[in-house]
Amino acid sequence: MARLLALVGMCGAGKSVAARWFEGRGIPGVYFGRLTLEELERRGQAVTPDSERAMREELRRVHGMAAFAVLSIPKLRALLTKGGEAYIDGLYSWEEFLALKKEFGPVIRLVHIWTDRALRYERLSRRAERPLDAAQAESRDLSEIEKLAKGGPIAFADVTVTNHGSPEALAAALEAAIEGLR
């Protein structure tokens, strides 16, 4: 049975940890944020919270609000053809969801990873790659809510997994949630 499981949630909720769990189960995926990092690298620009935000916004201005989904459809189609199941790390906008829904129909399912804001901000301040302080994290939250319509996919999720514990606890919660989507 073909399934495209899209991880949605706010920054620091645990989408990357969930993505590693999928990879560990042999489920391939596409990290939408990779497009931002690759474009910054291609242009020789430093990766900072400000440069990432500016690049995300530019890609959406140039390619539309569904940019990350549209640019990733060929990869996603190939993954689904190869194995029948894949995941997306970081579907953000309502328009991305609509583009994927149009392309893949009922195969796409939204998996919301939820963590309360204070814990997300604490995690973001401690992460090794691209850490954010509380002010940067709040700024990113507001930008994603106001400019990306990030709330739509979260509200429309097929399942919500709470992530307030260890990676092992998240794995167990994901296992149960994903099994319920069959």
- Which CATH number covers residue 22? 3.40.50.300
Tens of pLDDT, residues 67-103: 999 999 999 999 999 878 999 998 989 999 999 999 9
Query: Does 38 reside within a domain?
Result: no
- Whether residue 148 lies inside any domain: the answer is yes
Domain tally, the chain = 1
Residue 91 confidence (pLDDT):
93
Is residue 143 situated within a structural domain?
Answer: yes
Instruction: Write down the residue that tokens 């042999």 correspond to.
Output: 26
The DSSP H or E segment spanning 71 is helix 67-83
Residue 102: count other Cβ atoms within 10 Å of its Cβ: 12
- Domain membership flag for residue 14: yes
Query: And the tokens for 179?
Result: 């099994």
Average pLDDT, the chain: 93
39 domain residue, yes or no: no
In terms of residues, how long is the chain? 182
Confidence label for 1 from pLDDT (cuts 50, 70 and 90): low
Supply the pLDDT for residue 63: 93
Do 65 and 148 contact (CB within 8 A), yes or no? yes
Residue 51 counted as domain residue: no
Establish if 147 belongs to a structural domain.
Answer: yes
pLDDT digits 0-9 by tens, 110-121: 999 999 999 999
Q: How far apart are CA 54 and CA 56, in angstroms?
A: 6
Task: Give the pLDDT confidence score for residue 66 in this predicted structure.
Answer: 95
| CA torsion through residues 101, 104, 105, 111, sign | negative
What is the reported pLDDT for 171?
A: 96
Instruction: Give domain status of residue 176, yes or no.
Output: yes
Integer Cα distance of 8 and 156 in angstroms: 10
The parent domain of residue 108 ranges over 3-32+65-180
Q: What is the pLDDT of residue 135?
A: 96
Q: pLDDT of 59-76, one tens digit each?
A: 999 999 999 999 999 999
Model confidence at 53, in pLDDT bands (50, 70, 90)?
confident
